[in-house]
């Protein structure tokens, strides 16, 4: 479990009605952010927001369908040991999925922290984490349709990276990004194997049809590794690991930990049978076998013990995260204008919220985190007033263009989901947030009304993005000349424009009512100007983003 490599450290200020605070991690399909949403007055709710990478919006729609499918599946599973999905929506920054924020760490992060301290995980802690994970997995496997028919869902990516352990002592399964129900299992392209190879069952590695027993195998690998405190498969490449998975009988955990009771070894081995017909038939049955055998070791830890233990391992990391949030809010507050009149501020807050929180969001308390820093409430209200005013102007702007596509305003495209609750590498590795990569689409321009006014921008450096009021146009291919088509509300008078160069420099101008072309001059590139998005200061002693704790 190697430490993560550096990744991008910039984030949008807002996605939909959610204020972005910090990036939590990034993967091949999306980046996950810590965000917050206003609930009432000065009370905020923290959430984990999964935002699809911009370049994936130009594909054939499979990535979008995959994220929406994940949201539907996860939102249908209502269980304390599955991370709830609250909402899926779309705004100019992309498709996003909102989940409960679990303050804690992934199981892989917990194991790394323990190894860094030269310790092993206490047996009682291992038993409780496994028990919670298997209960959540069984709930997913038992999911039924609205008519009550079994869906035979298979997660297909059960791994330490997709198991969150909270400081509340509860472990939760997450990331149903490549999960499949029985009716979809044959839809995977031939020869394509999805998941982390170190946790794949043999039949999954061979590309054959899988059922819940493939997830039972993955749970057995996790149990083996938590007790052995090392990977079951060595550091060989993925192809070598795949060959071992399909051809070699897994080692017994007592080969590494001879002090463990035979019953525990047998229970884990029953989940790691190469013959799927001889394998432990369900997650619930594996949990029963493990807990029965665990009586020879000692008591299973309760949630209070788990929470205390997890805080001891990752508490400093979580404290640093809280301080970073305070710093981000303070910096934004410093940039905001003086406080508005109380009545205006409250009206602006209402606009910023884009409607009242759903009943689901207001009442779901499982694994939720609420803002703890009430002492900064007064200054944050001022910031929200400004943000809300911008949101109101954005609502009048009508349409935002992002990645070469016309997108409707967030308030008309967001879809509420009821509350409920890859990659092929062994460990999800962080990757930089992709840069915008397409010029403004000619189809998008053609969609605009022909009577709209156009402005030709010429610049002394390649332009990568332009903001008109609160409407953003992101160019896939940076260029020194771009023709902008204004909306009906923009063409009647002077227009404020802010252009961002490819290297981050910015310049703001105002085009008069009769101007059809504007010359932009970026300052010499002696010092990179701040990008439109908010830079995030890295945590102390952290080389970059960790693998996302909410999946890919």
Helix (H) or strand (E) holding 292: helix 283-294
* Cα 479 to chain centroid, rounded: 31
Owner of token pair 């955990």: 253
Contact 8, 432 (CB under 8 A): yes
Nearest by Cα to 372 from 336, 299, 318: 318
| Calpha distance 236→225 (Å, rounded) | 17
CB contact burial 348-363 (16+ within 10 A = b; e otherwise): bbebbbbeebeebbee
Distance CA 247, CA 233 (A): 13
Query: How many Cβ atoms sit within 10 Å of the Cβ of residue 147?
Result: 5
- Asked if 27 contacts 47 with a C-beta cutoff of 8 angstroms, the reply is no
Q: 43: which strand partners? A: 40
| CA atoms of 130 and 297, how far apart (whole Å) | 15
- Residue 189 main-chain phi, psi, to 5 deg: -60, 145
Distance of CA 249 to the CA centre of its chain: 35
Q: How far apart are CA 408 and CA 478, in angstroms?
A: 24
SS3 labels along 197-208: HHHCCHHHHCCC
First to last CA, the chain: 17
Establish how many alpha carbons lie within 13 A of residue 113's alpha carbon, considering only the half-sphere containing its beta carbon.
20
Quick one: tokens of 115?
């190894």
Query: Which 8-state DSSP code applies to residue 53?
Result: -
Which residues, in sequence order, are bridge partners of residue 30?
A: 52
Per the annotation, the verdict on 157 as an active-site residue is yes
Residue whose C-alpha is closest to residue 274's, from 236, 240, 246: 246
CA nearest neighbour of 184 among 285, 29, 79, 62: 62
Would you mind telling me the total number of residues written for the chain in this entry?
Answer: 552
DSSP 551: B
Axis crossing angle, helix 212-228 with helix 262-271, rounded to the nearest 10:
140
Instruction: Name residue, tokens 């300052």.
Output: 523
Half-sphere exposure of 6 (CA within 13 A, CB side): 8
Marked catalytic residue, from 105, 157, 215, 265: 157
Q: What is the dihedral of CA 538, 543, 547, 552, to 10 degrees?
A: 70
Write the CA distances from 510 to 73, 377, 392, 395, integer angstroms.
48, 35, 20, 21
How far is Cα 420 from Cα 5, in angstroms, rounded to an integer?
Answer: 33
The catalytic residues are: 157
């Amino acid at each position: 479990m190697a430490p993560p490599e550096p990744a991008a450290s910039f984030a949008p200020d807002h996605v939909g009605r959610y204020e972005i605070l910090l990036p939590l991690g990034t993967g091949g399909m999306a980046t996950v952010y810590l965000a917050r949403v206003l609930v009432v007055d000065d009370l905020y709710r923290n959430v984990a927001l999964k935002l699809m990478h911009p370049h994936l919006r130009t594909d054939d729609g499979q990535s979008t369908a995959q994220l929406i499918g994940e949201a539907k599946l996860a939102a249908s599973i209502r269980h304390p040991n599955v991370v709830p999905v609250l909402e899926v929506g779309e705004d100019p920054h992309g498709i996003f999925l909102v989940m409960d924020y679990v303050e804690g760490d992934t199981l892989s992060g917990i194991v790394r922290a323990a190894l860094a301290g030269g310790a092993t995980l206490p047996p009682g802690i291992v038993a409780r984490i496994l028990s919670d994970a298997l209960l959540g997995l069984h709930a997913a496997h038992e999911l039924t349709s609205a008519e009550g028919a079994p869906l035979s869902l298979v997660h297909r990516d059960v791994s330490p990276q997709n198991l969150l352990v909270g400081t509340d002592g509860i472990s939760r399964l997450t990331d149903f990004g490549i999960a499949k129900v029985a009716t979809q299992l044959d839809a995977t392209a031939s020869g394509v194997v999805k998941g982390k190879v170190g946790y794949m069952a043999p039949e999954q590695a061979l590309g054959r049809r899988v059922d819940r027993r493939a997830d039972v195998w993955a749970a057995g690998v996790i149990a083996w590794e938590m007790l052995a405190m090392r990977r079951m498969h060595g550091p060989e490449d993925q192809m070598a690991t795949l060959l071992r998975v399909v051809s070699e009988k897994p080692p017994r955990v007592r080969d590494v930990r001879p002090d463990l009771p035979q019953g525990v070894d047998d229970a884990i081995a029953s989940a790691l049978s190469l013959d799927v017909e001889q394998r432990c038939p369900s997650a619930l049955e594996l949990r029963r076998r493990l807990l029965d055998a665990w009586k020879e070791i000692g008591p299973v830890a309760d949630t209070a013990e788990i929470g205390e233990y997890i805080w001891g391992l990752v508490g400093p990391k979580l404290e640093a995260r809280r301080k970073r949030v305070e710093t981000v809010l303070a910096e934004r507050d410093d940039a905001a204008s003086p406080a508005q009149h109380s009545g205006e501020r409250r009206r602006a807050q209402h606009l910023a919220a884009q409607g009242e929180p759903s009943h689901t969001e207001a009442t779901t308390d499982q694994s939720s985190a609420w803002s703890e820093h009430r002492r900064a409430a007064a200054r944050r209200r001022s910031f929200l007033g400004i943000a809300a005013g911008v949101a109101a102007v954005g609502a009048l702007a009508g349409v935002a263009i992002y990645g070469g596509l016309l997108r409707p305003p967030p308030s008309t495209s967001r879809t509420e989901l009821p509350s409920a609750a890859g990659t092929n590498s062994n460990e999800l590795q962080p990757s930089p947030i992709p840069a915008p990569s397409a010029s403004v689409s000619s189809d998008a321009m053609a969609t605009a009304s022909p009577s709209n006014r156009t402005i030709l921008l010429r610049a002394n450096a390649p332009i990568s993005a332009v903001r008109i009021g609160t409407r953003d146009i992101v160019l896939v291919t940076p260029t020194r000349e771009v023709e902008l088509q204004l909306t009906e509300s923009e063409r009647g008078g002077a227009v404020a424009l802010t252009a961002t160069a490819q290297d981050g420099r910015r310049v703001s101008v105002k085009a008069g009512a009769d101007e059809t072309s504007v010359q932009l001059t970026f300052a010499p590139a002696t010092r990179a100007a701040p990008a439109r998005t908010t830079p995030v200061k890295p945590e102390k002693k952290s080389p970059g983003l960790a693998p996302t704790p909410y999946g890919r």
